[in-house]
Every structure is written in C-alpha cells, then in structure tokens.
Amino acid sequence: MRLLIYIILGFLLMPLANASGEYVSYQVAGKSYQGYFVNPSPNAPLILLIHDWDGLTDYEVKRAEMLADLGYAVFAADLFGEGIRPTEVKDKKQHTGELYKDRAKMRALMKGAYESAVAKGALANNTVVMGYCFGGAAVLELARSGFDVKGFVTFHGGLQTPEGQDYKKTKGKLLILHGSADTAIPMEQFASLTQQLEESGIEHEMTTYSGAPHAFTVFGTESYREDADNKSWKRFIEFLDDTLK
C-alpha cells in the first residue's frame, strides 16, 4: 500500500512535458515556405503569428513557445519563402517592399499559413492573428480584407492604411500595442487609425507605452524596453483569455 502511494505521488509530482514544436514546410501558389508550428493539445485555440521584416527567426519561435506554454497552439508563418531570412537592411526592405506593393499576395500568404495550420490539426474557428513590426502591418492588412477570425493584435506594427482601403469589412476585434517614442511609426498614424476604427464601428483597444521606441519587445536589442514588453505581453494574454473561449 505504501509503495502504491509513493508511485501515485511520484506521478503527480512529475513535471508536465512541454509541447514540442516543429518546422513545417508548406506551399502557397506553388512556392515553398517554412513555418513553425507548436500545438500543446487538440482543443488549443490557435494563434497565427506574423514575423518582422527579417523573416521567421528564433524570436518568433521563442514567442510561439511562450504562448504554447500557456496552452495556445501557434503557427508562426513565413511570408518570404523557405530559406529566405534577410540580414541586411536593403534585403529586408526588398522583401517587405515587394509585399507592400502586392497586397493580394500578402493576404494570400497569411491565408495559406492559416490553412496549413488547420491541416496540421489546429482549430479553425477559434483564432487570433498577431504580428510584430512588419508583421503588425500585415495583420491589419488581413483585418481589412474581412478575414474571419476572432481578433487581430499588433506589437509596434505599421498602422498606416493604404489609399482606397478601410476597415468596413473587418471581423473580430483589434488590440494595438504601440510605443509612444516610436519614430518609425509616429503617433499621427496611431491617432488616424483610432479615428478610422471608430468610424467603422470596429471594437478596438489601443494602448501606448511611454518611452518605448520601435521594436520595444525584441529581446537583446537597444530598442528593448522590459517594462513596456511585460505590460504589453500581459495585456495581450488578457486579450486572448477574453477573446478565445
């Protein structure tokens, strides 16, 4: 009897295994892309994560694993192509610039990543799309297209609306997390987006963090601000808890 009790106690005290992520090759319009997918359980809500202008890197993988530890499935998309991870500024501008000029392709790549996540077993009807910097701008592009998910979240993302676009088709609510010391995406764009969302009747929440420059969440960089990162991440998790039931 005592041995049985020890066995049961030992089992209960064992640490739970972490979800194991994997790199996933997939096709969009005949071209190969490589995302990162982690899924802690069959019923886990899905986060579609869109990368910054340097492509899918260890940073997005780290964020995906942080979310998986909280019980979310995450598909970190690749919008540049398998093996394309630019390191020079001119190359980063080239790859993002091509997508800014071809918005239909940008939307198709995100939808393709979403479909790949669903094909891997992720839930299709309980999703939030989020992104960093360039990825934030891409997330808003997807929101304007009328993509049917529960929410869209940007961290220090591009906020400008292209000429001829608006938020009248948007489904799901928006959470915008922005640094008020961001010189790359000035507060004029933040204010303009606020007005656009209000005029379109879109449920939204927009928060700024004092002293936070562009890319304030990126670990190990000069722009990183721990206080703003912690506060914005906390609000993001609260948003997920409220949105993904």
Measured N-to-C along each axis, helices 103-119 and 89-101 cross at an angle, to the nearest 10 degrees, of 90
CB 202 within 8 A of CB 173: yes
Q: What is the DSSP string of the chain?
A: -HHHHHHHHHHHHSPPPPPPPEEEEEEETTEEEEEEEE-SSTT--EEEEE--TT-S-HHHHHHHHHHHHTT-EEEE--SS-TT----SHHHHHHHHHHHHH-HHHHHHHHHHHHHHHHHTT--SSSEEEEEETHHHHHHHHHHHTT---SEEEEES---PPPTT--STT--SEEEEEEETT-SSS-HHHHHHHHHHHHHHT--EEEEEETT--TTTT-TTSTT--HHHHHHHHHHHHHHHHHH--
Residue 212: pLDDT band with limits 50, 70, 90: very high
pLDDT at 5: 38
The set of residues, in sequence order, having a beta carbon less than 8 Å from that of 207 and lying 6+ positions away, is 175, 176, 177, 178, 232, 235
pLDDT at 210: 98
pLDDT digits (tens, 9 = 90+) for 52-93: 999 999 999 999 999 999 999 999 999 999 999 999 999 999
Residue 156 pLDDT more than 60? Answer: yes
pLDDT at 20: 80
Q: Across all residues in the chain, what is the average pLDDT? A: 93
Residue 124 pLDDT more than 90? Answer: no
Rounded to an integer, what distance in angstroms lies between the CA atom of residue 170 and that of residue 200?
9
Mean pLDDT in residue range 232-243: 98
The set of residues, in sequence order, having a beta carbon less than 8 Å from that of 35 and lying 6+ positions away, is 23, 24, 26, 56, 75, 76, 77, 78, 113, 116, 117
Mean pLDDT in residue range 91-100: 98
Domains present along the chain, CATH in parentheses: 24-243 (3.40.50.1820)
pLDDT at 19: 61
Rounded to an integer, what distance in angstroms lies between the CA atom of residue 144 and that of residue 226?
31
> Higher model confidence: residue 123 or residue 1?
123
pTM of the model: 0.91
pLDDT at 72: 98
pLDDT digits (tens, 9 = 90+) for 4-61: 433 333 433 333 334 689 999 999 999 999 999 999 999 999 999 999 999 999 999 9
